[in-house]
């Protein structure tokens, strides 16, 4: 079967985590792939429109109902992009040294940054079709690279992103057998001007700090270039491979 160009895809796309990058990715997908109906899903507040779904990735009931909500759209699912993630928040800060490691904070980091993406893949798998191309992408981070780690620190976030990479690498191998037209991608967006990175931008050069719109444009461009033969890749915003 000859794979169609992604820009001609018709069907359904889901962007999970409609924050700074997620909202921009949804807008970029609508611009780049006009025949895709793009839905967003997030955990804060009730759906604002028919194009939004209520989804808390740490709530099993929400995940259990996701495939039914997507099936109700009456369109084939062609793309899912997980843009959720957590680095800091109330009671949660990246660790600078060993004595700052806390069990509950590790569990929180792993819950959203490692377990949530693979559970999302499990939730949408019943909608896959063997004869249709499908993309599953998730935001990773260069700091999750074990080979690229030169500074240490950020124990929980680094480890959770590394765990996500391994989980989705396993997924790509399984899906290559079961769903041969599926492509799994792990994408590093670069440092983007969002609430997640804002407390840590002081040492970032202005030309290395991306707007959400620029990050989304770069991510979608890289994503749509991937093929099933490249499934399981860990890539930066410019398409370059990152060490595991």
Taking only the tens place, the pLDDT of each residue in 165-208 is 999 999 999 999 999 999 999 999 988 776 555 555 556 666 66
pLDDT of residue 12 exceeding 90, the answer is yes
The chain-wide mean pLDDT, for the chain, equals 90
Query: Which distant-in-sequence residues (6+ apart) come within 8 Å of 189 by Cβ?
Result: 21, 139, 210, 215, 218, 219, 237
The answer to whether position 39 is within a domain reads yes
- Domain with residue 193: its CATH number is 3.40.50.720
Residues 47-55 have a mean pLDDT of: 77
Higher pLDDT, 45 or 28: 28
Containing structural domain, residue 41: 6-236
The answer to whether position 179 is within a domain reads yes
The answer to whether position 243 is within a domain reads no
3 state SS of 24: helix
Q: By mean pLDDT, which of 2-11, 30-39, 122-131, 137-146 is the weakest?
A: 2-11
Using pLDDT thresholds of 50, 70 and 90, give the confidence band for residue 2.
very low
The answer to whether position 71 is within a domain reads yes
pLDDT of residue 8 exceeding 80, the answer is no
- Which range of 44-53, 164-173, 208-217 scores highest in mean pLDDT? It is 164-173
The answer to whether position 242 is within a domain reads no
Cβ(39)–Cβ(12) under 8 Å? yes
Structure confidence by residue, pLDDT tens digits, 83-97 = 999 888 888 899 999
How far, in Å, CA of 119 to CA of 210, rounded? Answer: 29
CA 29 to the chain's CA centroid: 14
pLDDT of residue 82 exceeding 60, the answer is yes
Structural domain total, the chain: 1
The answer to whether position 36 is within a domain reads yes
The answer to whether position 244 is within a domain reads no
Residues 69-88 have a mean pLDDT of: 95
pLDDT of 207 reads 64
Cβ(25)–Cβ(83) under 8 Å? yes
The answer to whether position 194 is within a domain reads yes
Structure confidence by residue, pLDDT tens digits, 196-206 = 555 555 566 66
């Amino acid at each position: 079967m000859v794979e169609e160009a992604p820009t001609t895809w018709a069907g359904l796309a889901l962007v999970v985590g409609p924050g700074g990058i997620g909202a921009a990715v949804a807008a970029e997908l609508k611009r780049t792939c006009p025949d895709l109906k793009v839905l967003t899903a997030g955990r804060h507040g009730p759906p604002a429109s028919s194009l939004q779904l209520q989804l808390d990735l740490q709530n099993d009931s929400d995940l259990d109902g996701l495939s039914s909500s997507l099936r109700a759209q009456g369109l084939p699912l062609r793309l899912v992009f997980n843009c959720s993630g957590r680095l800091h928040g109330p009671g949660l800060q990246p660790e600078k040294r060993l004595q700052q490691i806390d069990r509950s904070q590790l569990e929180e980091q792993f819950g959203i940054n490692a377990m949530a993406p693979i559970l999302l893949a499990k939730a949408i798998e019943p909608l896959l079709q063997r004869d249709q191309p499908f993309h599953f992408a998730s935001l990773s981070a260069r700091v999750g690279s074990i080979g690229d780690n030169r500074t240490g620190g950020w124990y929980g976030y680094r480890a959770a992103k590394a765990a996500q990479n391994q989980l989705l690498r396993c997924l790509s191998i399984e899906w290559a057998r079961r769903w041969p037209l599926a492509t799994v991608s792990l994408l590093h967006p670069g440092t983007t001007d969002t609430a997640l990175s804002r407390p840590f931008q002081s040492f970032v050069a202005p030309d290395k700090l991306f707007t959400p719109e620029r990050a989304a444009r770069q991510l979608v461009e890289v994503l749509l270039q991937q093929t099933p033969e490249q499934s399981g890749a860990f890539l930066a915003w410019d398409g370059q491979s990152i060490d595991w």
